[in-house]
Amino acid sequence: MRYVLLLLVGCASATPAPVAPTPLPQAPVTKPDDAPRALFEFHSSFWVNLHERLYAESSSRVPSSDPSSPAWSAALDAYRKRYPDRGIEGLFSDELVALRARLQAAREDETPAGIDPELQAAAAAYRAGAWREDDTRNRAWVSRVQLRLEVLGPTLAADHARAYQTPWPSEPVHVEVSAFAGPVGAFTSLSPTRIAVSAGDPRYQDDAAIEMLFHEFSHSLIGRIEAGLAAAGAKLRKPVPPRLWHAVIFFTTGELVARRLPLGYLPYARKNGLWERSPEMTAYEKAMLKEWMPYLDGKVGLDAALEKLVGGL
C-alpha cells in the first residue's frame, strides 16, 4: 500500500493504492493559482518500510518481528552481511542511496528492479505480518502532523528561509515515513532531498515531529551558513569545528519551533541531552546562546554573527 499526502494549509490530497483499508480524502485535481503550496509530500511505501524494518532488525537493537519465518530470517542474515556499517555515515553509502531510490519509486504490487532476492523473498512474510500495522501507524502519524502543519507550517517555512537566507523550495519536500529510519530514527539524503522519519520513534511525536521535519530539511538549507562559517574561520585564522554546522541546525530549528509553540516546549537537543553529551557540544550551545541568538532575534547580521560564533569557541 502506498499513499501520498500533500500538506497544504487546510488542504490534503491522497492517492491510495489498491486494497487501501481507508482511502484518504481526494483533493481537487486543480487548485487556484493563489492556493497555498505544499510544504511536504508524505509517503508510506511498502518497499521502503520493508527495507527499513530489515535494516533495523538485522542490527543488535531491534528483535525480529517474524522469527518463525525462514525467508525473514534469511533476509536478516543477508542484511547483516551486506550492510555491516550501522553508523550514521553508513546510511549514505552509494549502494544504500541507490537502493532507497529504487524502492521509493516502486509500487507495492511490483518488484523493484535490481533488488536482492532475499528482500524479494521477505516481502510476502512482511505483507502477511507487520506491514498492515506499520502502514496504519504511519498514516496516523501523518494525520497528526498534518493538523499541526496546517497551523504552523507556513510560518515555520518562512522562519527557516529567513534564518538560513535560502528560499523554501517551490516543490513539496519528499518524506518517507516508516516504522524505522536508521539508527537515530530520521535522516536526510541530498540531491535530491529525501527525508526519512520513523513514525514509531517516541522522540518524533506530536510537536517534536514538526521540529524533526524542519530540522531534517534544514540539511538542504545550511549551505549559506556553512560557507559563512568557513569564511569566518579564514578571516580569524581559526579552524572551524567540522560538526559545528549540524549543531547550528539543532539550535536554530529548535529555537524557531519553540518560539511558535506554547511556552514550555523543549527543543529536541535540550530534551534529549544533546548539549550535555560532550564538552564540545556544551561549548557549542554556550556560544550559540551568546552569539547566534542575537542573529535569530534580528539584532545582528548573518556574517557578523557567524564570525562571533567561530571566534567565541
Domain boundaries of the chain, sorted by first residue: 4-204, 222-311
The larger pLDDT score, comparing residue 29 to residue 57, is at 57
Percent of the chain clearing pLDDT 90 (strictly above): 80
Can you tell me the mean pLDDT for 121-150?
95
Per the DSSP assignment, residues forming a β-bridge with 276 are: none
| pLDDT confidence of residue 63 | 92
Q: Can you list the positions of beta strands (E) in 133-219?
A: 173-178, 186-189, 194-198
Buried b (16+ CB within 10 A) or exposed e, 38-47: bbbbbbbbbb
Cα 178 to Cα 185: distance, rounded to the nearest angstrom? 9
- This prediction's pTM: 0.86
- Cβ contact 88:136 at 8 Å: no
CA distances (Å), 281 to each of 8, 223, 288, 296, in order? 36, 21, 11, 20
172-205 pLDDT, tens digit each = 999 999 999 999 999 999 989 999 999 999 999 9
Is 255 strand, coil or helix?
helix
| pLDDT confidence of residue 179 | 96
| Residue 5 reports pLDDT greater than 70 | no
Q: Cell 523554501, residue?
A: 168
54-112 pLDDT, tens digit each = 999 999 889 999 999 999 999 999 999 999 988 888 899 999 999 999 999 998 888 88
3-state helix, strand, coil in the chain (%, to 5): 55, 10, 40
Can you tell me the mean pLDDT for 219-244?
97
If residue 144 lies in a helix (H) or strand (E), which one and from where to where? helix 131-164
| pLDDT confidence of residue 263 | 86
CA distances (Å), 47 to each of 19, 78, 193, 302, in order? 16, 17, 19, 42
Can you tell me the mean pLDDT for 194-223?
97
| pLDDT confidence of residue 287 | 97
Is 52 strand, coil or helix?
helix
What average pLDDT is seen over the chain? 88
Cβ partners under 8 Å of residue 64, min gap 6 = 57, 72, 73, 76
Question: Hey, what amino acid is at 304?
Answer: A
Percent of the chain clearing pLDDT 70 (strictly above): 88
| pLDDT confidence of residue 36 | 54
Under the banding of pLDDT at 50, 70 and 90, the label for residue 28 is very low
240-291 pLDDT, tens digit each = 999 999 999 999 999 999 999 988 899 999 999 999 999 999 999 999 999 9
Per the DSSP assignment, residues forming a β-bridge with 177 are: 197
- By mean pLDDT, which of 7-21, 162-176, 231-245 is the weakest? 7-21
User: Quick one: angle between helices 131-164 and 46-57, nearest 10?
Assistant: 90
Can you tell me the mean pLDDT for 203-220?
97
